[in-house]
């Protein structure tokens, strides 16, 4: 029977193989298991052995020639093979080779183009050390852009650090960025908030308060005095009550000591129309009645909005209240005014279901968010302080 020797597949991704050397010539007799031809792929070489005993009838592929996997490279005839059978096999093999050769050539051309494109998009495996890779990932650097100076061109830690330093490979920033230089109030806010947030370990605790009492208080106040009562006045009053008990929240931390301030000067964050923020301070707020507080607040807020606050009116705060209720905010995490120990964030008053004695009641609810400096106080104490404010808000009936 005519035995066909094909170009074998040596690797997974191999498409073509090359004849390296014919160890037998045409017309040579071979015995089963005898080495006939050495072939190779891009990676490995292999010696094809005769699978039968017979004669090498014809060799189709010359040394150093490359052909696709599965191409007939030679035919071995056995003693009983008829000339017809052999002729047929040779013809088939030659025809196939004719068809395939041009196709191979074409394929090759296409392949070359593809390869060139590939080089552009997907370069060879980049040598990079584990820590360099980790650092590059952390800084979102594209490693193809980093030059490797380690052994064998490996990208090492130093290369990544240099790239970070130079900042040349910072992820692409869109060209059309609108740039606003930090000046004036914005700059001061930026500096103070950064300073505060980086120095004081902030923790925020939140608690809901029933605002029914506040709403009632406001109505009564307005009925009696015909003056609008700011919720901030009530809140500050409640804060003052709590500060009398929990003096530590009226402190500032400086170097290695906590200084408890003898006076309670409450600041109130006021949003300015141009988007800025200013905190006028009510000095000795604890000495004022609700009515006086209300008037002072109105005065300070008005001055703030008109940009008419004097320096003395924004200095010396010992505690801050920041109310975002009018913007539909519930809870948030305020940042401390630098050096102060706590700040109370106030949310909106919204009607919400509340469970009282196994019954659902609809109540006006206000969320209180207290941020504090964890260097000075701990969570449980902050919770007690906040609960004290909540209870005051829910129950007190101050003299006007």
Partner 1 sequence: MSTQREINMADALNEAMREEMRRDTAVILMGEDVGVLGGVYGVSKGLLDEFGSERVRDTPISEDGFVGAGIGAAITGLNPIVEIMYPDFLPCAMNQITNHMAKLRYMTGGQLTVSLTIRSAIIQGRGSGADHAQTLIPWFVQTPGLKVVVPSTPYDAKGLLKTAIRDKAPVMFFETAKLYLNKGLVPEDEYLIPFGKADIKREGTDLTIVAICNLVLEALEAAKELEKEGIKAEVVDPRTLVPLDKETIINSVKKTNRLVVVDNNPSACGVAAEIAAIVAEEAFDYLDGPIMRVATLQIPEPVAPTLIKLMLPNKEKIVAAAKKLL
Nearest approach in angstroms of CB 161 to partner 1 is: 11
Query: Is 374 noted as a catalytic residue in this protein?
Result: yes
46 sits in which H/E element: strand 45-49
Choice from 112, 126, 131, 227 touching partner 1 (CB under 8 A): 131
CA 345 to mean position of chain CA atoms: 28
Of the candidates 28, 202, 208, 374, the residue annotated as catalytic is 374
Choice between 132 and 366, CB closer to partner 1? 132
> Three-class SS of residue 372?
strand
What span, in angstroms and rounded, lies between the C-alpha atoms of 247 and 265? 13
81 versus 159: smaller Cβ distance to partner 1: 159
* By CB under 8 A, residue 154 contacts partner 1: yes
Contact status: 383 vs partner 1 (CB under 8 A): no
How many CA atoms does the CB half-sphere of 177 hold within 13 Å?
7
Our finding on whether 156 is near partner 1 (CB under 8 A) is yes
Min. distance of Cβ 131 from partner 1 in angstroms?
5
From 157, 192, 202, 391, residue interacting with partner 1 (rule: CB under 8 A) = 157
DSSP result, 154-207: -B-HHHHHHHHHHTTTS----S--------HHHHHHHHHHHHHHHHS-EEEEEE
Separation between Cα atoms, residue 49 and residue 63, nearest integer Å = 17
In terms of CB distance, is 114 or 158 closer to partner 1?
A: 158
Closer Cβ to partner 1, 148 or 280, answer by number: 148
Sorted by sequence, the CB contacts under 8 Å of residue 259 that are 6+ apart come out as 251, 252, 253
- What's the distance, CA 338 to chain centroid? 29
Q: Which residue has the tokens 């709590």?
A: 242
Instruction: Confirm or reject binding of residue 129 to partner 1 (CB under 8 A).
Output: yes
Q: Which two tokens stand for residue 60?
A: 């189709």
Answer yes or no: are the C-beta atoms of 312 and 252 closer than 8 Å: no
Choose the binding region for partner 1 from 43-51, 74-82, 107-115, 128-136 (rule: CB under 8 A).
Answer: 128-136
- Count of residues in contact with partner 1, rule CB under 8 A: 11
Q: Which is nearer to partner 1, 150 or 338 (CB)?
A: 150
- Residue closer to partner 1 by CB (options 140, 273) is 140
150 binds partner 1 (CB under 8 A): yes
CB of 333 to partner 1, least distance (A): 33
126 binds partner 1 (CB under 8 A): no
**Are the CB atoms for 154 and 129 separated by under 8 Å?**
yes
Output the smallest distance, CB 134 to partner 1, in A. 5
330: annotated active-site residue: no
- Distance between CA atoms of 118 and 97, rounded to whole angstroms? 30
| Residue listed under structure tokens 């650092």 | 135
- Which residues contact partner 1 by CB under 8 A? 129-132, 134, 150-151, 154, 156-158
Active site residue ranges: 374, 378
């Amino acid at each position: 029977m005519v035995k066909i020797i094909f170009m074998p597949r040596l690797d997974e991704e191999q498409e073509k193989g090359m004849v390296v050397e014919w160890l037998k010539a045409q017309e040579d007799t071979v015995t089963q298991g005898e080495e006939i031809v050495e072939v190779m792929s891009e990676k490995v070489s292999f010696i094809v052995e005769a699978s039968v005993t017979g004669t090498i009838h014809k060799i189709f592929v010359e040394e150093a020639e490359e052909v696709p996997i599965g191409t007939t490279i030679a035919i071995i005839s056995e003693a009983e093979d008829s000339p017809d059978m052999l002729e047929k096999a040779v013809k088939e093999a030659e025809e196939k080779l004719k068809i395939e050769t041009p196709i191979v050539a074409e394929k090759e051309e296409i392949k070359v183009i593809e390869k060139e494109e590939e080089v552009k998009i997907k370069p060879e495996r980049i040598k990079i050390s584990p820590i360099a890779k980790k650092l590059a990932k952390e800084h979102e650097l594209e490693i193809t852009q980093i030059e490797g100076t380690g052994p064998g061109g490996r990208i090492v830690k130093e290369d990544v650090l240099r790239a970070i330093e130079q900042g040349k490979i910072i992820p692409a920033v869109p060209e059309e960025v609108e740039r606003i230089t930090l000046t004036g109030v914005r700059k001061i806010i930026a500096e103070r908030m950064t300073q505060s947030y980086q120095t004081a370990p902030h923790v925020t605790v939140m608690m809901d308060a029933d605002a029914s009492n506040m709403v009632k208080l406001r109505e009564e106040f307005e009925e009696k005095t015909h003056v609008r009562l700011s919720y901030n006045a009530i809140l500050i009053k409640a804060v003052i009550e709590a500060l009398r008990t929990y003096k530590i929240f009226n402190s500032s931390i400086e170097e290695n000591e906590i200084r408890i301030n003898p006076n309670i000067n409450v600041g109130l964050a006021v949003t300015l129309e141009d988007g800025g923020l200013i905190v006028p301070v009510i000095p000795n707020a604890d000495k004022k009645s609700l009515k006086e507080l209300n008037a002072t607040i109105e005065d300070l807020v008005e001055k703030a909005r008109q940009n008419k606050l004097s320096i003395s009116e924004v200095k010396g705060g010992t505690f801050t209240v920041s109310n975002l209720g009018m913007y539909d905010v519930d809870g948030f995490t305020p940042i401390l005014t630098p050096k102060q120990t706590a700040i109370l964030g106030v949310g909106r008053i919204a009607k919400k279901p509340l469970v009282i004695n196994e019954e659902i009641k609809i109540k006006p609810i206000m969320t209180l968010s207290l941020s504090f400096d964890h260097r000075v106080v701990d969570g449980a104490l902050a919770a007690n302080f906040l609960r004290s404010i909540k209870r005051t808000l829910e129950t007190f009936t101050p003299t006007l």
